Amino acid sequence: MAATERARPSRLLKRLLAQGTSLGVPSDTLRALMMAAAALPNMIPSPARALEVEQAHLNFSHYAEGGRDFVRGPAVDLKRPDALTVDTVRGAARFRIDDRASLSLDFAQDTWSGATPYVTAPLGFTATSTGASLYVNSANNGGIASRVDRRTLQPLDLATGRPATRVVNVMTSASAETRHQGRLTFAREWNEAGLEVNTGLSDEPDFRSLSAGVRFRLDFDRKLTSLTFGATRSSSDIDARLGNTSNYIDYRLYQNATSGPRIVSVPVAGTDVAGLASNDVESLRWQGKREDMSLNLGLTQVLDRSTVLTVGVTYARSEGFLESPHKLVTMAFADPTTPSVFNYLLTPVFSVPEKRPDTRNQISWNMKLARYLRSFDAAVHLDLSHSRDDWGVRAESAEVRWIQNFGRWTFTPRARYYTQTAADFYQPYFLFVQRYPRDGANNLDYSRMPIESWSSDQRLSAFGAYSYGFTLSRQLFDDVRLDIGYERYRHAGNLKWGGGGEQGFGDFHSDAFNIGLNFALGGPAPLTGPIAGDLPAGHDHEGHDGHHGHHGHVGADAPAGVMNAHMLGRAGDFMTTYTYRYERQAGEMTTGSRPAGDAEVLLSCGAPGCPVRPSEMLMHMHMLHLMYAPTDDINLMLMPHLMSMTMNNTALRGGRYTALGGHAHDSMDLSTHTTGGFGDTTVAVMFRLPQIGRTHAHLTLGVSIPTGSVDQAMAHHGGDLMDFGMQLGSGTWDILPSLTVGGAAGRWSWGGQVSAVMRTDARNKSGYSLGDAAELTAWGGWRLNDSFSVSLRGLYKVQGGVRGALRGRNEVVDASGNVSYVHALHSPADLSANTGGRYLDIGIGASMVIPGRERQGDRIALEWLMPVSEKVRGYQLERAGTLAVNWNMSF
């Protein structure tokens, strides 16, 4: 086949390959498919160039679990906890350095919330309290004894003496946790080889990991055969927050450890057993280090003009802290010395942390077959894999995908089956017929345990799983593709191949939805990137000699922190903007324009008191602006966003916690609260106003749809709602008008905007309404050259106070028998009197036109906004600053 034939691109196979990547096909398979297609007439160019096209993607997804077994308790009054959900944003950009080298940046943020199983036990070993959670009836000194049948060893109900063998999950809920991940990759291509070097960071509240990897490829036989070698290594620090000390859980195995993972006590902000505030409340942390490495070898072979085969083998080793810190194990010891007059054996029960082996070695094989079916104008992918490790886990999986092209549409259904055996040290609970090994203080003596390792983590059980789903893709423009995906997953013990799977208590299902955009920044349709998303803000664009111009239009050089500052200038134009926003508050409490001491802040809490006050608040927000111009003078805009927030607290001197509604507590760790998920969604219409000289203007009328949650609650402490600022939305339909003006002359540009937020509801479902707001901002910009500009901005904001109060969850009955629900105060931020104010900020910014996208006017911009003065209502934490980063692309 002539080289010129192989270099001619085909839109079909590019889409097929893009779909393969969006579904998670490893780079080996993608490269193999490209080489296979290169053997077909008029299909794709040589792989070396195809992989170097500049690309970007942004993807939003939502995952939700369901179907877990749940026990309502003897009184049928236990409430099912919220199911686990995960909200995720992922993005990446690849920049070409030259014809053979590129640099890629990937990021991801996911927020987990809801309940997960943390221990399993038979019903006979559990207990409940009215309206509270199910728990394992254990004590760390063996002081609580359950019973098992003397002959059958079946757990017995303490009240009835009947068998109570049903194994159940004990669920726990935690405040939302957010993980941030980033990876930087350098790639270099030669005529017959390729090299990738990457480094990455993963950070979450109890886990931080640094990684590095390298991958080398050699091509043979005119690139019809490729051999790949890869290696990765990561080093992780674990610092898991376990909460306050407990007589229910025996942590002494790790508290007394002299090496390896250790459980230590650290002082935190909270309350002692008397409810008095302190920064020395004892809280437990499980700390340790983990090392992971992997080596892989792969071979890709073009079998014929339509078929590519990839085979690979991977060796992985992990060592160090391999336990899951938030999983417990039920240990029961049936005492054979129980007097024979009883038909049962007394059985002390312990709840203990996991103990896994210190190392894990795993080897896996995989085979991937991809074939293009000319008669169907489609492709089929078949993936098979097998793995085994020295923990006794053997796993197999099979996956099939059909990639069907329909003009500018591509539909990809897929199905997958997975099965595995259990780890050697896994049991849903452990029952030993012996007296429990004890030390001189009658505590469990771990040095004389009958087993060396133990876990009840259902991920190590024997089970099977299947999933099915699809991806629907639409080529919106030559360089923009929309992907929408769905997947249904089911995990069950009875799905294990050959039978012998775990009981039904571990079964569950999940649904995952995602939507995103893939972009080619300078070339044909994108070939890489997951099921993607969208990207940054915008400029006015009007046609100039067939180009997209960006000089001298409204908002062309507006700072990154100004919303709705840009309009498209020609009917049919489309623009996306990705905006990252980071806000930080830290330092002292203020009232009006002056600092406020603890005594004064505490007085504002009134008679109930407050145990803590904010010391730092962090907010991360990822926004996606989608803008389309149906006419030259009207733009339509849609803006969803994902956010996460962390509130750190310090004790108020003299503060206290007042328990309400019977929710008495032991000591409480109130040092940190977190939340996250999708926020409110904005839709808007923008109207261009008549131009006056060099001055342009446009009017924006927007509506904020209350898609963000306003019932984010603390996982413990009575389940009280978090304060107003920690909620993900307003809970009300809000009107968002704004007027933007601007102009330019030579290298100078200027602009201004007045905007407002008007709440339409008196109360949301959580009992309050955020205050109205108004902003006035003005900026000036200087273009250093055709690519770079800087800006200076002033911002004045008036924020109304919250109306109403947080809805209480604590039932209080007065002397007359009247029932009310009261919110227990944790912090002055819980009070509506401590919201609102007037704020003056100044911002400095810079922007850069994206190399290779000068004709479209695409640019990256950032701005740092600093507080100058403020006059706040009540008592509030002082502000530290706001960072905004925009990346806009127009089509």
Which of 341-345, 655-659, 850-854 is predicted with the least confidence, judged by mean pLDDT?
850-854
DSSP 806: P
pLDDT surpasses 90 at 44: no
Show the tokens assigned to 18. 């893009």
pLDDT surpasses 50 at 189: yes
Confidence of residue 493 (pLDDT cuts 50, 70, 90): very high
Residue/partner pairs of 128-134 with CB below 8 Å, 24 or more apart: 128/73, 128/74, 128/75, 128/78, 130/75, 130/77, 131/77, 131/78, 131/79, 132/78, 133/78, 133/81, 133/170, 133/171, 133/172, 134/71, 134/73, 134/78, 134/168, 134/170, 134/171
CA 694 vs CA 531, 553, 568, 745: distances in Å: 43, 9, 17, 8
Confidence of residue 238 (pLDDT cuts 50, 70, 90): very high
Greatest extent of the chain over all pairs of C-alpha atoms, in Å? 103
Q: What pLDDT is attached to residue 660?
A: 64
Q: Is 29 helix (H, G, I), strand (E, B) or coil?
A: helix
H/E segment holding residue 135:
strand 134-136
CA 177 vs CA 238, 449, 647, 679, 784: distances in Å: 15, 35, 12, 16, 42
Which of 12-16, 131-135, 304-308 is predicted with the least confidence, judged by mean pLDDT?
12-16
Dist CA 346 CA 339 (whole Å): 9
Adjacent-strand bridge partners of 779: 751, 793
> pLDDT for 410-452, tens place per residue?
999 999 999 999 999 999 999 999 999 998 888 899 999 999 9
Q: Which residue's structure tokens are 């690979």?
A: 312
Confidence of residue 97 (pLDDT cuts 50, 70, 90): confident
Helix/strand/coil (H/E/C) assignment for every residue in 489-552:
EEEEHHHCCCCCCCCHHHCEEEEEEEEEEEEECCCCCCCCCCCCCCCCCCCCCEEECCEEECCC
DSSP character string of 51-82: TTS-EEEEEEEEEEEE------TTTT-PPPPP
DSSP character string of 157-177: -TTT-SB---EEEEEEEEEEE
Of the two residues 776 and 69, the one the predictor is more confident about is: 776
Q: Which of 35, 9, 33, 38 is CA-nearest to residue 23? A: 33
Q: What pLDDT is attached to residue 809?
A: 65
Model confidence, pTM: 0.86
Q: What pLDDT is attached to residue 150?
A: 95
Judge residue 370's burial from the number of C-beta atoms within 10 Å of its C-beta, 0-12 exposed, 13-18 middle, 19 or more buried: buried
Confidence of residue 76 (pLDDT cuts 50, 70, 90): low
Mean pLDDT, range 518-533, rounded to an integer:
49
> pLDDT for 805-847, tens place per residue?
988 765 555 555 665 556 778 899 999 999 999 999 999 999 9
In degrees and rounded to multiples of 5, residue 12 shows phi and psi of -60, -55
Of the two residues 659 and 398, the one the predictor is more confident about is: 398
CA 674 vs CA 378, 620, 685: distances in Å: 46, 12, 34
Cβ atoms of residues 890 and 575 within 8 Å = yes
Cα 291 from chain centre = 23
Task: Look at the alpha carbons of 760, 766, 768, 770 in this order and tell me if their dihedral is positive or negative.
Answer: negative
H/E segment holding residue 581:
strand 574-592
Q: Is 637 helix (H, G, I), strand (E, B) or coil?
A: strand
DSSP H helices in 168-309? 252-255
Cβ atoms of residues 181 and 204 within 8 Å = no
Q: What pLDDT is attached to residue 17?
A: 43
CA 363 vs CA 301, 312, 323, 399, 410: distances in Å: 22, 11, 20, 19, 35
C-alpha torsion angle, residues 19, 24, 27, 30 (rounded to 10): -30
Mean pLDDT, range 341-361, rounded to an integer:
95
pLDDT surpasses 60 at 54: yes
Other CB atoms within a 10 A radius of the CB of residue 345 amount to 21
DSSP H helices in 539-639? 598-604
Mean residue pLDDT of the chain comes to: 86
Show the tokens assigned to 232. 């990765």
Q: Is 622 helix (H, G, I), strand (E, B) or coil?
A: strand
Q: Which residue's structure tokens are 């793995």?
A: 387
Mean pLDDT, range 586-605, rounded to an integer:
93
Other CB atoms within a 10 A radius of the CB of residue 94 amount to 23
